[in-house]
Chain A
Amino acid sequence: QQQVKQSPQSLIVQKGGISIINCAYENTAFDYFPWYQQFPGKGPALLIAIRPDVSEKKEGRFTISFNKSAKQFSLHIMDSQPGDSATYFCAALPGTNAGKSTFGDGTTLTVKP
């Protein structure tokens, strides 16, 4: 049973457009929701993260929207750039010490110039 479902699997966006990636979770014990950006052959890099006590968090061109009742959260990338082309993973962690990350399947984003 996949605990974190991510969609779409791949996404193509024109330069300057908005990229939207969605995730849904089942386990209500999850208490921390980060997004990672990964380039081929590199480690996942933390982009932005949110806790359930807020509905939205913005950092630069990246925004997380969180819907606790629906158990869904999404990443919005505004003014998408070709350099944003990468694989994006959502993740969820429990609200306890040393919690492991459960990742979504990933979304491959391609931003066309």
Chain B
Amino acid sequence: AAGVIQSPRHLIKEKRETATLKCYPIPRHDTVYWYQQGPGQDPQFLISFYEKMQSDKGSIPDRFSAQQFSDYHSELNMSSLELGDSALYFCASSLSVAGGDTQYFGPGTRLTVL
């Protein structure tokens, strides 16, 4: 079965650079979530999109922005990168139904900021 695809899998950037992470949800899934996971920590919710509209916002820095496109893929844009942005970034997708969603996670993008 098709899973969530994320690219790139690894990314190394310098401080103050920009980065773009891409997420391709499971086919027919209409909702995308972005999470940030630091070393030894649980995933922290950043932002989500449902039918191309932002549906919820968590602890996403103002330096980050995201959008969902007409084909439902999503991109997380990160500017003015800081050392503390080094983390695993996960995208998850779901087929939104009332009463709670099953979210399927991608393999993640490991971002290292030097």
Residues of chain A touching chain B, judged by Cβ–Cβ distance below 8 Å, are 31-32, 34, 36, 41-46, 49, 51, 89, 93-106
User: Are A42 and B45 in contact, CB atoms less than 8 angstroms apart?
Assistant: no
A83 to B91, CA, bound (A): 25
Residues of chain B touching chain A, judged by Cβ–Cβ distance below 8 Å, are 4, 31, 33, 35, 41-45, 48, 50, 55-56, 58, 88, 90, 92, 94, 96-108, 110
Q: A36-B105, A97-B50, A98-B55 are in contact. Are A103 and B100 (CB under 8 A)?
A: no
Least CB distance from B35 to A in Å reads 8
User: Are B102 and A51 in contact, CB atoms less than 8 angstroms apart?
Assistant: no
User: Among B41, B45, B88, which residue has its beta carbon within 8 angstroms of that of A102?
Assistant: B45
User: Are B100 and A95 in contact, CB atoms less than 8 angstroms apart?
Assistant: yes
A36 to B48, CA, bound (A): 19
Top 7 closest A-B pairs, CB basis?
Answer: A32-B100, A43-B105, A103-B42, A98-B50, A98-B55, A100-B45, A97-B96
Which residues of A sit under 8 angstroms from B44, Cβ to Cβ? 103
Known: A46-B102, A97-B31, A101-B33. 7 other contacts (CB 8 A): A44-B105, A97-B97, A98-B50, A98-B101, A99-B101, A103-B42, A103-B44
User: Are B103 and A51 in contact, CB atoms less than 8 angstroms apart?
Assistant: no
Q: List 21 A-B contacts (CB under 8 A).
A: A32-B99, A41-B108, A43-B4, A43-B108, A44-B43, A46-B102, A46-B105, A93-B100, A93-B103, A95-B100, A97-B31, A97-B55, A97-B97, A98-B56, A98-B101, A99-B100, A100-B45, A100-B58, A103-B42, A104-B42, A106-B42
Q: Is the interface of A mostly helix, strand, loop or mixed?
A: loop
User: Are A43 and B48 in contact, CB atoms less than 8 angstroms apart?
Assistant: no
Q: A98-B56, A100-B45, A103-B43 are in contact. Are A46 and B103 (CB under 8 A)?
A: yes
User: Are A51 and B100 in contact, CB atoms less than 8 angstroms apart?
Assistant: yes
Which residues of B sit under 8 angstroms from A46, Cβ to Cβ? 102-105
